[in-house]
Structure 1
Amino acid sequence: MPVAESLESWAARAAEVAGDPQRAIDLALAIGTVAPTPASGETPALFELFRALGRADLTAARVVEAHLDARAILAEAGHEPQAGTWGVFAAEGPGVRLDAHDSNGAFRLSGTKPWCSMAQLLDRALVTAHTAGGHRRLFEVELRAEGVGVRSGEWIALGLQGVPSGAVDFDDVVSSPVGADDWYLDRPGFAWGGIGVAACWLGGAEGLAHRLLSSATSTTREPDQIALMHLGAVDAGLFAARVALDDAGRRIDDGRAEGNEGRLLAARVRIVVATVVEDVLRRVAHSLGPAPLALEAEHARRVADLELYVRQHHAERDEASLGRRIVAEEPKR
């Protein structure tokens, strides 16, 4: 497969992104033509690609993952993706709402959608909106269409500075439905996409682990027992997360990750990976101290990017959600 055969080349191109959004978009366009989709028989290779991109540059991983996710969603719905760069805007937020109105079979979007990453640079997006009867539905939208207004100046994050994720206003914007009401959240690929995001987080943690290893193997100073302890714990944690991720990819390809099984798998893998990522962040900081954060631009950016990116995981709330699923499933066993 082209992606697997040229993994080092893609990683090298991701490293050249260095937080630049336009270079990330160019990379996404190039990879989008060759990357596999989930459940295609090459899902572990797809997750390995996301890890490689995350190790090299989290801006690159963030942009490429969203572009590939949009293409995978369209394929799952039986749609051929149009040319250009894609995003997926499916988050909800307090005080804002996006509604879709059906006018003789033609849908128009009105309202505000929060957390729209890279909207100012992308060509198109898949956007969820509320429909009649309390449902949500996915729509394809041209981001340069009349009535689309991308807000500026809202993104003040120190992490992922090149991936601004502010709100977008829609004023009677023409859109095309993708799937039926509630299809976006109910389809198997929703869980698979969440695992792909976790693969990007894991890659970022692996990048930090490389910095930890370089310090431990430096010829200028012998590592002490504390440094070796952190290195060993980080290595073991990353190994466990990689095993979970690889197993998930195989389950997706084998047809063992659909319906509730897929949702449980995604919840478990994301918790495993997020827990390891947060532990790596803590241990690398404790072992290396403040100097790399203060004096090394690449390391400081990677830490800031990863700390923000992994917050897509909802921590204790996601753990509670998994517990609730387990309790609900127990009577069925």
Structure 2
Amino acid sequence: MTAGVISHWLDIGRLDLPLPASGATARRWRLLTEMARDDITAARIAEAHLDAVAILHELGGKPVQFNEVWGVWAAEAPEATLVAEATSDGTSLLNGTKAWCSGASFCTNALVTAADADGQRGLYAVTLTGQSVRPLPSTWANPGMAGSDTRAVQFTNTPAVPVGEPGDYLNRPGFWHGAIGVAACWLGGAQAVAQPLYDSVASGAADEHALAHLGAVDAALTAAEAVLAMAAAEIDADPFDRAGRGEMLARRVRAVAETAVDEAITRTARALGPVPLCTDDRHARRVADLSVYVRQSHAERDLAALGALAGTHR
């Protein structure tokens, strides 16, 4: 189902978004938010595809071609290691296993991080349609984000093309631009989850407690919208992050968006009770998907990192 949505979005040009830091960053994030409001799981895949487009542009890689669906498989796990061996023609061969690969069965290409001979973390462009790439059996147990088909993938002498130099993936300004793109999707998911509460109030069925819950949710969603707009303007004004504020800006936006997610999930349930969760399949799926998706945040660890940065930038 998710693969079909992504294919449709590609066909109708819905994934033709402005690049981050191009002067239209607010529009990019607004469109990501709209995608997540429509389909949280598909937006998670679309965001990664669009991040790959931006990374390849930033690091001078070969542009994405029409009808390709790209993943960005950069998670590291102790039980899954991937190594890259340079070849004489300037390409590399990948061997090992990569964990947390979203779109494992339907992405056509991916940007994958792997350790080179010196132990440095490099980024590699890979075509996934060959026999040397094998998605492993899924161990996904949660109904939330099940449609993202996230699982481990095994590589065996898989041809790959280095993108940029080792370390460029994490050190480029666009790394934090991409982190904010994820927050834009969280916001769209939160808006979708909160919609039954808005509908209840609009119908006149809400009591004073539901009104209070909606007030808190609306304030949190509005704050996330505002901080995204502020961040977009700052990034467009300093696309290469010469002021060195990119990480702090991204962590602030993600923290505000995560708060909006928590408020939407918790207060909508408290206001409306179990009925929409138990009888509205679409709402229940949105809550499950968003609950998993937002855990791309590292919670208190991210807040501690933000605190350290905020303390030195005031």
TM-score range, shorter chain: over 0.9
The one-letter amino acid of 1:323's match is G
The within-5 A match list for 1:135-214 is 135-214=120-199
* Alignment equivalent of 1:70, drawn from 38, 52, 56: 52
Deviates more, 1:146-155 or 1:271-280: 146-155
1:247 aligns with 230
Compared with structure 1, are the counterparts of its residues 96 and 20 closer, same or farther at alpha carbon in structure 2 (3 Å cutoff)? Answer: closer
Assess if the C-alpha contact under 8 Å between 1:92 and 1:113 holds in 2: yes
Equivalent position amino acid for 1:117 in 2: S
How many residue pairs align between the two structures?
310
The alignment's TM-score, normalised by the length of structure 1, stands at: 0.89
Do the aligned partners of 1:126 and 1:141 also contact (CA within 8 Å) in 2? yes
8 A contact 1:126–1:138 mirrored in 2:
yes
Q: 1:274 aligns with which of 230, 239, 258?
A: 258
Provide the secondary structure at the position in 2 that maps to 1:173: strand
Offset of residue 33 of structure 1: 6.0
Q: Which moved more, 1:31-40 or 1:110-119?
A: 31-40
What is the CA–CA distance in structure 2 between the aligned matches of 1:177 and 1:30, rounded to whole Å? 31
Tell me if 1:227 matches 2:210.
yes
Deviation at 1:110, TM superposition (A): 0.7
Amino acid at match of 1:81: V
Q: Which amino acid aligns with 1:92?
A: E
Q: Quick one: structure 1 residues 315 and 286, their matched pair in 2 at CA, closer, same or farther if it must change by over 3 Å? A: same
Deviation at 1:256, TM superposition (A): 6.1
Matched, 1:107 2:89: no
Alpha-carbon separation, structure 1, partners of 2:209 and 2:231:
33
CA positional deviation for 1:31: 3.4
| Larger RCO, structures 1/2 (Cα 8 Å, 6+ apart) | 2
1:42 to 8, 21, 24: 24
Q: TM-score, normalised by structure 2?
A: 0.94
Q: Deviations over 1:262-284 (max 9, x none)?
A: 11111111111111211211101
CA distance in 2, matches of 1:183, 1:32: 29
Cα distance in 2, alignment partners of residues 262 and 30 from structure 1:
32
Q: Secondary structure at the match of 2:123?
A: strand
Partner SS state of residue 125, structure 1? strand
Q: 1:133 to 1:20 in 2, by over 3 A?
A: closer
What are the ranges of 5 or more consecutive residues in structure 2 without an aligned counterpart? none
Q: In 2, Cα distance between the equivalents of 1:75 and 1:60? A: 23
- What secondary structure does 1:31 align onto? coil
Tell me which amino acid in the other structure corresponds to 1:254. Answer: A
| In structure 2, distance between residues paired with 1:197 and 1:159 | 17
Tell me how far apart the structure 2 counterparts of residues 216 and 183 of structure 1 sit (CA, whole Å).
49
Give the secondary-structure state (helix, strand or coil) at the position aligned to 1:48.
helix
Which residue does the alignment assign to 1:22?
4
Q: Give structure 1 stretches of 5+ with no counterpart.
A: 1-18
Cα 1:101–1:256 shift into 2, 3 Å: closer
| Matched AA of 2:216 | A
Percent sequence identity is: 45
- Could you report, residue by residue, the CA deviation over 1:104-162 in whole angstroms, capped at 9, with x for unpaired residues? 23311111100100121111001011113331111000101231111123222211221
* Distance in 2 between residues matched to 1:97 and 1:32, nearest whole Å: 35
RMSD of aligned Cα (Å): 1.7
| Deviation by residue 1:236-287 (Cα, 9 ceiling, x = unmatched) | 1111111000111111111167263111111111111111211211101100
Match of 1:82 among 50, 54, 65: 65
Aligned residue in 1 for 2:114: 129
How far apart, in 1, do the equivalents of 2:172 and 2:49 lie? 18
Aligned to 2:147, the other structure's residue is in SS state coil
Is the 1:28–1:63 contact (alpha carbons within 8 Å) kept by the matching residues of 2? no
Deviations 1:148-198 (A, max 9, x none): 111123222211221111000011111000000100000011100010010
**C-alpha contact (below 8 Å) 1:227/1:287 kept by paired residues:** yes
Distance in 1 (alpha carbons) for counterparts of 2:2 and 2:111: 23
